[in-house]
Amino acid sequence: MKKKTSVKHVSKKYGPQTTAIHGGEPARHGVGAPVGTPICRTSTFTFSSTAEMKLWAEGKSKAYIYSRYGNPTLAVAEQKIAELEGAGAAVVTASGMAAISSALLGALKCGDELISTAQLYGGSYRLMRDLFPDMGIKVHQVGTDLAGLEGLLSPRTKCLYVETPTNPTLRLVDLDKAISFAKKHRLTAIIDNTFATPVLQNPLAMGFDMVVHSATKALAGHSDVIAGAVAGSKEWMKRIQHMVIYLGGSMDPGAAYLLIRGMKTLGVRVERQCANAMTVAKFLDKHPKVARVHYPGLVSHPDHKLAKKQMRGFGTMLAFDLKGGLPAARKFCDRVRLFLLAASLGGVESLVILPIYSSHYNMSLEELKHANVEPGTVRVSVGLEDAEDLIADLKQALA
Catalytic residues: 68, 121, 192, 217
- For 333, counting Cβ atoms within 10 Å of its Cβ (0-12 exposed, 13-18 middle, 19+ buried), the class is middle
- In angstroms, give the least distance from the CB of 355 to ligand PLP: 10
- Give the residue nearest to ligand PLP (CB): 96
Per CB under 6 A, the segment of 66-74, 78-86, 119-127, 305-313 that binds ligand PLP is: 119-127
**Dihedral sign computed on CA atoms, order 215, 212, 16, 29:** negative
Q: Do the beta carbons of residue 342 and residue 351 sit within 8 Å? A: yes
CA distance 380 to 283: 13
247 forms part of the interface with ligand PLP (CB under 6 A): no
Q: How many residues bind ligand PLP (CB under 6 A)?
A: 17
- In angstroms, give the least distance from the CB of 169 to ligand PLP: 12
- In angstroms, give the least distance from the CB of 196 to ligand PLP: 10
192 forms part of the interface with ligand PLP (CB under 6 A): yes
Among residues 64, 121, 125, 314, the one that binds ligand PLP under rule CB under 6 A: 121
Q: Do the beta carbons of residue 346 and residue 168 sit within 8 Å? A: no
214 forms part of the interface with ligand PLP (CB under 6 A): yes
Crossing angle of the two packed helices 325-335 and 387-398, in degrees rounded to 10: 130
Helices (H), the chain: 16-22, 50-57, 72-85, 96-107, 122-126, 175-184, 197-200, 203-206, 234-247, 253-263, 266-286, 304-310, 325-335, 365-370, 387-398
Per CB under 6 A, the segment of 39-47, 68-76, 108-116, 190-198 that binds ligand PLP is: 190-198
Q: Do the beta carbons of residue 87 and residue 211 sit within 8 Å? A: yes
Among residues 70, 165, 221, 228, the one that binds ligand PLP under rule CB under 6 A: 228
The smaller minimum CB distance to ligand PLP, of residues 146 and 255, is found at 255
Per CB under 6 A, the segment of 34-42, 61-69, 120-128, 149-157 that binds ligand PLP is: 120-128
- In angstroms, give the least distance from the CB of 249 to ligand PLP: 10
97 forms part of the interface with ligand PLP (CB under 6 A): yes
- In angstroms, give the least distance from the CB of 7 to ligand PLP: 21
- In angstroms, give the least distance from the CB of 217 to ligand PLP: 6
123 forms part of the interface with ligand PLP (CB under 6 A): yes
249 forms part of the interface with ligand PLP (CB under 6 A): no
The smaller minimum CB distance to ligand PLP, of residues 167 and 276, is found at 167
Residue 6, SS3 per DSSP: coil
Residue 163, SS3 per DSSP: strand
Q: Is 283 left (phi over 0), alpha (psi -120 to 50) or beta?
A: alpha
Report CA 61 to chain centroid distance, whole Å. 33
**Dihedral sign computed on CA atoms, order 221, 224, 226, 231:** negative
- For 166, counting Cβ atoms within 10 Å of its Cβ (0-12 exposed, 13-18 middle, 19+ buried), the class is buried
Q: Which residues bind ligand PLP (CB under 6 A)?
A: 95-97, 121, 123-124, 163, 167, 192, 194-195, 214, 216, 226, 228, 344, 359
